Amino acid sequence: MKIDELAGHAISGASREYDVVVIGGGPVGENVADRTSAAGLDTVLVEGELLGGECSYWACEPSKALLRPVVARADARRIPGLKGAVGGPLDVAEVLAHRDRLSAYWKDDDQVAWLDSVSVDLVRGHGRLDGPRQVVVDTPDGGTVRLTARHAVVVATGTTTRLPELPGLAEVRPWTNREATSAREAPGRLVVVGGGVVGVEMATAWRALGSEVVVLVRGSGGLLARMEPFAGEMVADALREAGVEVRLGASVAAVAREGGPDAPVRVTLADGGTVVADEILFATGRAPRTADLGLETVGLVPGDWLTVDDTFRVTAVADGWLYAAGDVNHRALMTHQGKYQARIAGAVIAARAKGEPVDDRRWGAHVATADTEAVPQVVFTDPEVASVGLTTREALAAGRRVDVVDYDIGRLAGAVQYGEDYRGRARVLIDPERGTVVGVTFVGPGVQELLYSATVAVAGEIPVDRLWHAVPAFPTISEVWLRVLEAYRDMRKD
């Protein structure tokens, strides 16, 4: 009998020993469990909500399902002969139905079946550490199950929206990523607080679905402040053209629904200005889901991020039995990067369990070198933003000398073919001593599919001399690589 069946029968006090216990069944926990199980380790996964995590139901999947029709329509509107056919509004009901489908109707039956197929046991319930190698799970029916790990406990509990401390915020019923991705209709007026990736993506989606949208961004960093500045500037221009009001330097001082729970939200800004809307979305960053995880029982502070070494061992815990992967370790808060961490964590846990050598050299099988050197990210707005590796500002802060090559993507034959009035820009950072690409940012329609080429160049540390021999097809936007190399060659001659 599987342990979740035991839990289902509320056998309080049931206990079982496994090689590996994973807490949190998001994309990262699932992948760690898959890898340790594939390596022959007896593995159990503990999940408190839906197997598949935030990504499947309230983040990546629903948000991209909402954005795909928006971006496809924008692309189509740039194509002669087609633009006339797509001038009208989106079919909101159909878009939301598509979103529901891609969110698996908020049911995890398929993922449960997959977990079973990779021979990982599932315990449903809220898991907490209870001293070294011990996890206690409160099951939905009021029982408890104690799990003991012979080799490793892996925390993959992810993150939740970090809400600012504002009086009366709870009464306003603010949207987090959950409501923003699962709403059943477009609000008449939506205020988005925060100009990061979630803020700009959700502003793009809901504007196209019919909402009046205002984006409030604190400070002067602009939108997408962690990326190259031109990325945020181009996305801000496009949002404004789409009718979104983008207010920079706008800090929220107070929020209230004056006149009852269904009254509009009045947002008061630090400068005294006000904005009134039907809903308010806080896209103000993420906080680790570690507040109620029993961290205090192993000498850690509840609510903290879990700092790990490059093999995902939590550095502050002795004996190396506690690992943390995915969002909760704060290294790179994206599904693909978390799954990369999961593959590595799974492999290194298995190697250590079997007494096999650990390959922890840079780019070795058991260290997550890409977490610091080559993290790819796509912002699914119109225009899209795709980046990997360093930005100019990061290179400067790290004291790394880089040559910076910029190129106007709109000049490419491939861009002209892609759509009329194509606006795009590329920046490539090259380490002049090693002659390798260390950072790339592309902005423009259709650039998301260019990102893997940049990631290969950065992670592969391919010399630019060799990149000359990687010939991009004509007429594609990939020819941006050729133009950048030509510009770099000419720069070096001067």
Ligand X SMILES: Cc1cc2nc3c(=O)[nH]c(=O)nc-3n(C[C@H](O)[C@H](O)[C@H](O)COP(=O)(O)OP(=O)(O)OC[C@H]3O[C@@H](n4cnc5c(N)ncnc54)[C@H](O)[C@@H]3O)c2cc1C
Which residues contact ligand X by CB under 6 A?
23-29, 46-49, 53-55, 59-60, 63-64, 126-127, 156-159, 177, 181, 198, 289, 293, 326-328, 333-336, 338
CA separation for the pair 368, 365 (Å, rounded): 8
Question: Do residues 157 and 293 lie in contact, with contact meaning Cβ atoms separated by under 8 Å?
Answer: yes
Q: Quickly count helices (H) and strands (E) in the chain.
A: 17, 21
Q: Which is nearer to ligand X, 19 or 327 (CB)?
A: 327
- Shortest distance, position 171 Cβ to ligand X, whole Å: 23
Q: Strands (DSSP E) along 320-393, which ranges? A: 322-324, 377-379, 384-389
Burial class (CB in 10 A: 0-12, 13-18, 19+), 105: exposed
Q: Report the nearest approach of ligand X to the CB of residue 378 (Å).
A: 7
CB-wise, 282 or 407, nearer to ligand X? Answer: 282
Could you tell me the smallest distance in angstroms from the CB atom of residue 464 to ligand X?
28
Between CA 303 and CA 476 the distance in angstroms is 47
Q: Which is nearer to ligand X, 195 or 414 (CB)?
A: 195
Nearer to ligand X, 66 or 402 (CB): 66
- What's the min distance (Å) between Cβ of 383 and ligand X? 16
Cα separation, 482 vs 474, in Å, equals 11
Mapped onto helix, strand or coil, the DSSP state of residue 45 is: strand
CB 431: neighbour CB atoms within 10 A? 18
Tokens of 371: 């977490």
Tracing tokens 């206690």 back to the chain, one arrives at: 136
Cβ nearer to ligand X, comparing 126 with 343: 126
Whether residue 418 contacts residue 446, with contact meaning beta carbons closer than 8 Å, is answered with yes
Q: Which two tokens stand for residue 43?
A: 């593995």
Q: Is 250 helix (H, G, I), strand (E, B) or coil?
A: coil
Cβ distance to ligand X smaller for residue 63 or 476: 63
Could you tell me the smallest distance in angstroms from the CB atom of residue 480 to ligand X?
A: 23
Q: Please state, in angstroms and rounded to a whole number, the distance separating the CA atoms of residues 139 and 156.
A: 18
CB of 154 to ligand X, least distance (A): 11
Nearer to ligand X, 343 or 483 (CB): 343
**Which residue number, 128 or 395, has a Cβ lying nearer to ligand X?**
128
CB of 56 to ligand X, least distance (A): 7
- What CA–CA distance (Å, rounded) separates 70 from 63? 11
Rounded to a whole number of angstroms, the minimum distance from the CB of residue 99 to ligand X is 12
Q: What is the Cα–Cα distance from 129 to 99, expressed in whole angstroms?
A: 35
**Residues of 121-133 as b/e, b for ≥16 C-beta within 10 angstroms?**
bbbbbbbbbbebb
Q: What is the nearest approach in angstroms of ligand X to the Cβ of residue 38?
A: 18
The structure tokens listed for 169 are 């915020």
43 vs 181 by CB, closer to ligand X: 181
Distance of CA 340 to the CA centre of its chain: 13
